[in-house]
Amino acid sequence: MRPFRFGVALYVPGSRAEWVEKCRKAEDLGYDVVGVVDHLGRVAPVPALLLAAEATERIRLNTYVLNASFHNPVLLARDLAGLDDFTGGRLEIGIGAGYVRAEFEAAGIDWGTPGRRFTRVVDVVTEIERAFTGRPRPPLLLGGRGDRMLTFAAAHADTIALTGTAPGASEGRLALAGAAALAERAGFVKRVLGGRDAELNLMVHFVRITDDRRAALETAHRLVPHLGVDELGALATVLAGSAEAVAEQVLRTRETLGVSYFTVLEDDLTRLAPVIEKLR
């Protein structure tokens, strides 16, 4: 069974000092990976990770995840090769197809069809693999929900990221998959891996460490109204309860879904820390 890894996806722009403080806090709290999202209005991924490398010593650095449609594949591969060099080999590359249509429109990029967005991912991965010919390639993370993307990830990625989302996320709102749907996706990945070993990652969308689990789940329900409180309580993407109970939940998720790498959003950076400490 794979050891746990914990990552945080940072996204709030700010001053240099604020960014450095966040990255150092993540390292001090025991996180294994600092990630940067790729959304309009958020922090720019490449310079943010370069500064994160300067500010920290051991923590891994990843793009979580780059929107393939936002980048020229050849130029992106060049920039990532340089970033890997300048971060001392701590880079992990995450690539996705993009899911917020309004961002495509704001950037003047054709939203296209799911097939076309998938092709852009293939093009980017192809150029990344070419750019690292003859030298070690950073670990590659590919994330998605559909059969085509997960099958491609099973053939190329070191880490396969399960989004834990449901249709509706493309409108920019939080839509979480139910427990059965997430289990089905994890099972699909295991089948298409065909025995190949790959790390499974899961984005955790809500963390509350509290003695009042019911109240925390009711808060989650206000954010995700399409699922009931009890349904949310059964989700691996929703962590609510005491640090001990949440640690047990994370252990169960590794046992049942095979997920060993968990990523939380910036808002939950400090909230997950006591759980990480218990699971070490």
Band of residue 174 on the pLDDT scale cut at 50, 70, 90: confident
Band of residue 172 on the pLDDT scale cut at 50, 70, 90: low
Q: Is 91 helix (H, G, I), strand (E, B) or coil?
A: strand
* CB-based contact 197:160 (threshold 8 Å): no
pLDDT at 173: 66
Chain centroid, CA 237 distance in Å: 12
Read off the pLDDT of residues 85-134 as tens digits, 9 standing for 90 and up: 999 999 999 999 999 999 999 999 999 999 999 999 999 999 999 999 99
d(CA 268, CA 9): 10
Residues 166-177 have a mean pLDDT of 72
Chain centroid, CA 93 distance in Å: 11
d(CA 7, CA 3): 13
Band of residue 171 on the pLDDT scale cut at 50, 70, 90: low
Give yes or no for residue 167 having a pLDDT over 90.
no
* CB-based contact 152:121 (threshold 8 Å): yes
Return the structure tokens found at 277.
């400490």
Read off the pLDDT of residues 189-225 as tens digits, 9 standing for 90 and up: 999 999 999 999 999 999 999 999 999 999 999 999 9
Fold classification of 5-204+250-279 is TIM Barrel (3.20.20)
Return the structure tokens found at 47.
């310079």
